């Protein structure tokens, strides 16, 4: 007991002495201390950060001009005026041959993409790969054989809250700009920006135009790609989000291998978040983990022995707080190997080994519907395991699903959404994309459509 009391006295003395230490101030002892700066890191990193300019041609579309009677009556020409839309962002050189990674939303729909280097040289660029699920895209500079400066990837799993970081990009188009701050939070999963919600949050000033730019650590390595801000005014309010470098690495690797799509491991199970009510039912102290809601037959999850109502709590020793965290951790695992998943089952921990393999993508038969109908402008595909995984559908789902919509298409205007499953058109069952293509080319005054959205069947009637 005397030892405990003596230790307590020492602790109290240390606390009392702390304010004096906190108030200690020291005059810099040399000119070198006055010049302490991030400049050496910036000078090394800045040449690898680029500006990205994208442009696309759009028509000023007036729906009345689609009616030939209206055009003939009022003498309005059928050709509608065109307008050039431009977007501005940033990018990072990740391969000396001229490979640049940026945000997909910066170049989405672009007819022309240009990249401007830090030294003001400008190059045309081609889009090598687009990945809407991560909001990342990879570009390649055209007509060049020189070696460009690049950034190496940091291991973003080693980042800590409080680490100092620099954000480099082209905010508001004013030119390349550097801001600094700290990592405010890690593993932000409720942001709602991409499919893989697992973001680095930083208070380094990020503004419009910074999208696609670099977030670098104090070793000059790429910690993440700046992608979004939380703002009520349109400017930085100290809450910015970056895609972690480990996810960027996966997308860049797919581009380097010549793939047109990112190859990721496929689990073959649908997961749901653990609510406080579910936690109470399961006897959990905290509502954390990813609950298995569905397991697709013949999937890696099924072969590993994952079962309905299993609670996934870790992957390869890394704790899992929610389904978004699992999706990110699983998606960044290298293909070809295995991952160990820890699940809680009936009050005990079970370790399962899951093969890391891609989802089968046979018979996708993806097409864009162009005939004059409510489906005009919709891209549709047969539901394969790969399509189901991309759109977060149950692995057992079959049929035809909307995978994308043209902004100026009829399908988008009448309210179709990505992920809609088309079951029937005018009482004709739709089993494959060729069925829907045929149905869309028929002449009909009224369109009766049966679809599934969010698990709910909807009957829609549209005028022809």
* Residue 232 pLDDT grade (very low, low, confident, very high; cuts 50, 70, 90): low
pLDDT reported for residue 21: 42
Percent of the chain with pLDDT over 70: 83
From the candidates 87, 90, 105, 437, which is the catalytic residue? 105
* Residue 463 pLDDT grade (very low, low, confident, very high; cuts 50, 70, 90): confident
Question: What is the spatial distance between Cα 430 and Cα 170, in angstroms, rounded to a whole number?
Answer: 48
* Residue 3 pLDDT grade (very low, low, confident, very high; cuts 50, 70, 90): very low
Q: Any catalytic annotation for residue 135?
A: yes
Ordered structural domains, the chain, with CATH: 44-141 (2.40.10.10), 156-256 (2.40.10.10), 269-323+338-355 (2.30.42.10), 367-463 (2.30.42.10)
Tell me the per-residue pLDDT of 175-190, one tens digit each, with 9 for 90 and over.
788 999 999 988 766 6
* Residue 2 pLDDT grade (very low, low, confident, very high; cuts 50, 70, 90): very low
Tell me the per-residue pLDDT of 144-203, one tens digit each, with 9 for 90 and over.
888 999 999 999 989 999 999 999 988 877 778 899 999 998 876 666 566 667 788 998
Beta strands 240-244; 348-355: pairing state: unpaired
From the candidates 87, 116, 156, 211, which is the catalytic residue? 211
Given a cut of 60, is residue 22 above it in pLDDT? no
From the candidates 87, 116, 131, 135, which is the catalytic residue? 135
Tell me the per-residue pLDDT of 66-115, one tens digit each, with 9 for 90 and over.
555 445 455 555 555 555 557 788 999 999 999 999 999 999 888 889 99
CB 229 within 8 A of CB 242: no
255 Cα distance to chain centroid: 16
Q: Any catalytic annotation for residue 119?
A: no
Q: Kindly list the distances between the CA atom of residue 22 and the CA atoms of 8, 28, 110, 152, in Å, as whole numbers in the listed order.
A: 21, 17, 55, 38
Q: Any catalytic annotation for residue 443?
A: no
pLDDT reported for residue 37: 83
Question: What is the spatial distance between Cα 267 and Cα 306, in angstroms, rounded to a whole number?
Answer: 10
């Amino acid at each position: 007991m005397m030892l405990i009391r003596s230790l307590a006295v020492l602790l109290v003395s240390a606390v009392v002495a702390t304010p004096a230490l906190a108030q200690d101030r020291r005059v810099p002892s040399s000119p070198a201390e006055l010049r302490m700066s991030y400049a050496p890191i910036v000078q090394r990193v800045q040449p690898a950060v680029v500006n990205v300019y994208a442009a696309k041609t759009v028509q000023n579309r007036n729906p009345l001009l689609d009616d030939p009677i209206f055009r003939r009556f009022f003498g309005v020409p059928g050709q509608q005026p065109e307008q050039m839309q431009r977007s501005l962002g940033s990018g990072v050189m990740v391969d000396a041959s001229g490979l640049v990674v940026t945000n997909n939303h910066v170049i989405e729909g672009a007819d022309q993409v240009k990249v401007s280097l830090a030294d003001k040289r400008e190059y045309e660029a081609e889009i090598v790969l687009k990945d809407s699920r991560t909001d990342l895209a990879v570009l390649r500079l055209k007509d060049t054989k020189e070696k460009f400066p690049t950034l190496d990837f940091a291991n973003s799993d080693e980042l800590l809250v409080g680490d100092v970081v620099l954000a480099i990009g082209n905010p508001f188009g004013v030119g390349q700009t550097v801001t600094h701050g700290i990592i405010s939070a890690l593993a932000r999963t409720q942001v709602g920006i991409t499919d893989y919600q697992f973001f680095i949050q930083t208070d380094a000033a990020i503004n419009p135009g910074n999208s696609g730019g670099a977030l670098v650590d104090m070793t000059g390595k790429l910690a993440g790609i700046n992608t979004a801000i939380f703002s009520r005014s349109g400017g930085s309010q100290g809450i910015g989000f970056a895609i972690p470098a480990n996810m960027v690495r996966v997308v860049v690797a797919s581009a380097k291998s010549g793939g047109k799509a990112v190859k990721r491991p496929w689990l073959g199970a649908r997961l749901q978040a653990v609510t406080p009510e579910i936690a109470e039912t399961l006897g959990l102290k905290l509502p954390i983990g990813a609950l298995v809601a569905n397991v697709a037959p013949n999937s890696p999850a099924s072969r590993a022995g994952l079962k309905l109502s299993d609670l996934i709590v870790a992957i390869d020793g890394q704790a899992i707080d929610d389904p978004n965290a699992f999706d990110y951790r699983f998606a960044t695992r290298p293909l070809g190997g295995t991952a160990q998943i820890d699940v809680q089952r009936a009050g005990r921990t079970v370790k399962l080994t899951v093969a890391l393999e891609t989802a089968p993508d046979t018979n996708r038969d993806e097409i864009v519907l162009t005939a004059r109908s409510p489906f005009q402008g919709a891209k549709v595909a047969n539901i394969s395991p790969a399509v189901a995984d991309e759109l977060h559908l149950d692995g057992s789902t079959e049929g035809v699903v909307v995978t994308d919509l043209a902004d100026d298409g009829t399908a988008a205007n009448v309210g179709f959404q990505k992920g809609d499953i088309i079951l029937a058109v005018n009482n004709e069952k739709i089993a494959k994309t060729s069925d829907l293509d045929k149905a869309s080319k028929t002449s009909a005054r009224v369109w009766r459509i049966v679809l599934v959205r969010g698990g709910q069947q909807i009957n829609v009637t549209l005028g022809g």
